[in-house]
Amino acid sequence: MFNLKYLRKYSVPVVFTHDICAVVFSWWIAFFVRFDLGTISLKVIQHGLKLELFIVASHIFFYWKYKTYRPLWRFFSLPELFQLSKAVLYAWCVNICVLFLFRDLVQVPKSIWFIYPFWLMLILGLSRLAIRYFRDKQTAAHEIKRVLIIGAGKGAELFLRELARWPEKKFQPIASLDDDETLKGKEIRGVPILGSLSLLSDIVKKEKIDVVVMAIPSMQTLEFRNIIKTCEKINVSVLVLPSFSEIDKSSSNSLHPREILLEDLLGRDPIQLDWDGIKNFLFEKVVFVTGGGGSIGSELCQEIIKSNPKKLIVIDHSEFNLYQIENDLRNSGALNIQIELLNITDSITVQHIMEKYKPSIVFHAAAYKHVPILESHVFQAVKNNILGTKILAESAIKNNVDKFIMVSSDKAVNPTNIMGATKRIAELFCQSYNTISKTAFITVRFGNVIGSTGSVIPLFKKQIENGGPLTVTHPDMSRYFMTIKEASQLILQAGMQGVGGEIFVLDMGQPVKIIDLAKELIKLSGKKLNDIKIIFTGLRPGEKLYEELFYDKEKLLETKQKKIFKANSEFQMDGNAFQKAINMIEISCKQHNEDFLIETVHHILRNEGKLLERRSKNKEEMNVLIEV
């Protein structure tokens, strides 16, 4: 294989020297061809030497004029060939004209003047094409990645079959590893299965592997993480085959391996849902989804439409979000959908669409959730998260809705901020209404969702793109995470199995430190930890170091779905006093009295919250009003 570094560094003198030598060689080749490689007279040789100096000089001039030394040989093609031909042609014409004027033309056989340019073009063209050929071969060899496939099942077989169809050769499968001992020594589409995953490091080093491709969709998450850590240690890149659900969503419908996503590392093992029960729950029903254009709401809509509801009503206050989710649903073939642009605090419009569509099931995912922002926008947080829920719930009762499923948050447990307090009161509100109505009110509580709008992950990705630094509030801060898809599916499962009054808590696995999350994102971006700086900015208003999924007093009970627990929590407040407190919240919002509003929230959560104390002159007055 040619080493072209020297040629690239000294390209102009090398090319010029080569092209001048080509003129000399072609000139004398023409003589030997003309005389059939036989004896050439001394006179002819002397005359050829005399003419050679002038011929070389004329070619040098036209090489320089047409800059034939400039084009890169590894990209040599027709335009460069045409330019080269012009230089040779003009030099040839000048040579004949000048020599004819000096009467020297008759001293050289005429055929030589036609043989030498032919050989010259042949030498110049073939040399350039040879360089391009070897350069392309070098590039191709460098670009083709030697691949080790993890898995020898259906996923690996589909990948190898797809690989054979690709016109571009990016990967060369070398071997496969699988923990099934019965497969050792066998082949899958010509690729040898060398043994178990414990051989990963040895095989990568021995076979000079460039890329490891994960081809086991059902692999346990812990095992997946261990393989990633091993690959990081031996400095080999890892790609993942898309899951079959991802292929279904993809317009290209291909098995091209993709980069590792954070969801792959933070996600949990696949969950087994009662899909038959979920489909029966939603089939031929009119279903409302509030906040249907948001992260959770839009994924809920995607899952609900698979169960063929009679009609899916998507509600959101953002026209852009509605536009996006409607397009997504229409593109997937959904016809039985309707979008409604409204704010859930608009009681008249809410009642109107409830009467218009008569839903059987309501999924309430609309909420303000950004903790620091809501700390300084108390009224909007209360109006949307508490009063909006109240308006929807009362309208659901009036219109005989069968089930009302509210999406809650882990921040509702021992709330230290306005957002958590409003979600906790919304939980209590649903439990309260469940005791006085035929509508079954169900609450589903879980933690952070990977990639949702306003979450830390998109922020980190943007900061990495900008070169850092990554801003982490505290080195010990941790959060629970789950994927959007998993959250939406478990909401459906909880809604299906709930009978009313429950607070379901989703199994979020182990909490993840935000600092570890930041480091993983840096590594996934292809950078080293030293490349991106991480700075600590301190806790923001209302933030906690860690979140909780349930109160100490709430005993978690298992359900038939092992990823869903039921909090043994019943509504224990006096119903009339609670309703009076909600009325006081409404009055506080109308009067824009923040002190009175905060004290009312304190009063409702006085036995369970850790909401930050705020100064208020109306505390005693508020207590008297509620007790009365």
Domain locations in the chain? 5-142, 144-260, 275-572, 576-627
**Who's near 181: CB < 8 A, 6+ residues apart?**
196
Distance CA 80, CA 83 (A): 5
DSSP string, 57-83: HHHHHHHHHTTTTSS-GGG--HHHHHH
What is the block-wise mean pLDDT of the chain (628 residues), using blocks of 10 residues? Answer: 53 72 78 65 65 76 71 62 76 76 62 77 77 66 78 85 74 87 87 88 88 81 81 84 59 65 66 84 95 92 93 95 93 90 94 95 93 90 94 95 93 88 91 91 86 74 86 86 84 91 82 84 78 86 74 76 80 79 90 89 76 46 46
The length of the chain in residues reads: 628
- Pick the catalytic residue: 383, 390, 403, 411? 411
Nearest alpha carbon to residue 195 among 216, 178, 212: 178
DSSP string across 99-154: HHHTT-GGGS-TTHHHHHHHHHHHHHHHHHHHHHHHHHHHHHHHHSEEEEEE--SH
Question: Collapsing DSSP states into helix, strand and coil, what is residue 175?
Answer: strand
What pLDDT does 426 receive? Answer: 93
| Calpha distance 54→97 (Å, rounded) | 12
Cα–Cα distance between 409 and 386 in angstroms, integer? 14
| 523 assigned to active site | no
The span from the CA of 509 to the CA of 483, in Å, is: 12
Q: Collapse the DSSP code of 597 into the 3-class scheme (helix H, G, I; strand E, B; otherwise coil) and give the result.
A: helix
Is the distance from CB of 104 to CB of 76 less than 8 angstroms? no
What pLDDT score was predicted for residue 133?
72
- Dig out the tokens for 598 from the structure: 């905060």
What is d(CA 621, CA 628) in angstroms, rounded to the nearest whole number? 11
- Whether 144-260 shares its CATH topology with 275-572 is answered yes
For residue 617, the model assigns a pLDDT of 44
* CATH of segment(s) 144-260: 3.40.50.720
Give me the CATH topology for the region 275-572: Rossmann fold (3.40.50)
Dmax (CA) for the chain in angstroms is: 132
- 338 beta partners: 313
